[in-house]
Amino acid sequence: MDQISYLSAFLIGLAGGVHCVGMCGGIVSALRMVTPKDKPALLFTLAYNSGRIVSYTLAGAITGALGKIATDFVPLANYVLSLLSGVMLFLLACYLGKWWTGLTALESAGKHLFKYVQPISKRFLPFKTPLSAIPYGFLWGWLPCGLVYSTLTWSLAAGSAIQGAGIMFFFGLGTLPTLLAVGAGSQYIVRGFRHIIVRQGIASAMALYAAYLIYSALS
């Protein structure tokens, strides 16, 4: 994977902000209720999101390593994983555009595992310092999310743990602007991401890019 792939991962995270608003927006807004009133809320929001991005990066490293093992020992695994990443991106586009919502099945499956993680996160509430928000964000980074699952398939095809981690790191950075806007209470930006024209435009662009990836893998 080269810099173009990292840029693509960042743009997918940025475009997926329309999904992040619905999936994590309520969580970020609720965090303001457990943040000390006499301290800058932005510091806690940044700390929370830093922990979340660390969890994405770790997941990317794990899947990148697994993909590397598969390509080393299984013939044609690299082509299969590349095709899978394109297909998952196309399904994500369908999900964001509400053309087909089958990815919710993946999220439902992940909820069974996350129910064991969620109680642990409550130990860090309420926040006393920004540092206490980092482990909370790290745990919530494992929240079942079709957007994350789809991007993780890129890490599988990345070729190494480092490159897989890089893809998920830049993806996490891409999701940051939207969630920072939610944390700051910027309803103008939130409404913009939820607008049907914005949603359909993002979904259509992602579907076209996915089609290109699928074509490249098949070629």
pLDDT for 22? 60
- Round the average pLDDT of the chain to a whole number and report it: 81
Q: Could you give the CA distance from residue 42 to residue 186 in angstroms, rounded to a whole number?
A: 13
Query: How would residue 51 be classed by pLDDT, with cut points 50, 70 and 90?
Result: very high
Q: Could you give the CA distance from residue 18 to residue 41 in angstroms, rounded to a whole number?
A: 23
Q: Could you give the CA distance from residue 168 to residue 64 in angstroms, rounded to a whole number?
A: 10
- The residue ranking higher by pLDDT, 9 or 118, is 9
| Most confident of the following: 11-15, 43-47, 185-189 | 43-47
From the CA atom positions of the chain, what is the Rg in Å?
17
Query: Could you identify the residue written with the tokens 């693509």?
Result: 8
Give 1-40 as a DSSP string. Answer: --HHHHHHHHHHHHHTHHHHHHHTHHHHHHHGGGS-TTS-
Kindly tell me if the per-residue pLDDT of 214 is higher than 60.
yes
Kindly tell me if the per-residue pLDDT of 62 is higher than 90.
yes
pLDDT for 26? 58
Query: How would residue 118 be classed by pLDDT, with cut points 50, 70 and 90?
Result: confident
pLDDT digit string, tens, across residues 143-184: 878 788 888 988 988 889 999 999 999 999 998 888 777 666
Q: Could you give the CA distance from residue 137 to residue 149 in angstroms, rounded to a whole number?
A: 18
Give 153-209 as a DSSP string. Answer: HHHHTSSSHHHHHHHHHHHHHHHHHHHHHHHTT-HHHHHHHHSHHHHHHHHHHHHHH
The number of distinct structural domains making up the chain is 1
Asked if 179 contacts 28 with a C-beta cutoff of 8 angstroms, the reply is yes
Return the minimum-mean-pLDDT range out of 63-72, 91-100, 185-194. 185-194
158 is written with which tokens?
């990345």
- Count CB neighbours of 57 within 10 A: 21
What percentage of residues in the chain have a pLDDT greater than 90? 20
Domain with 95, as residue range(s), is 3-218
Query: How would residue 21 be classed by pLDDT, with cut points 50, 70 and 90?
Result: low
Kindly tell me if the per-residue pLDDT of 28 is higher than 80.
no
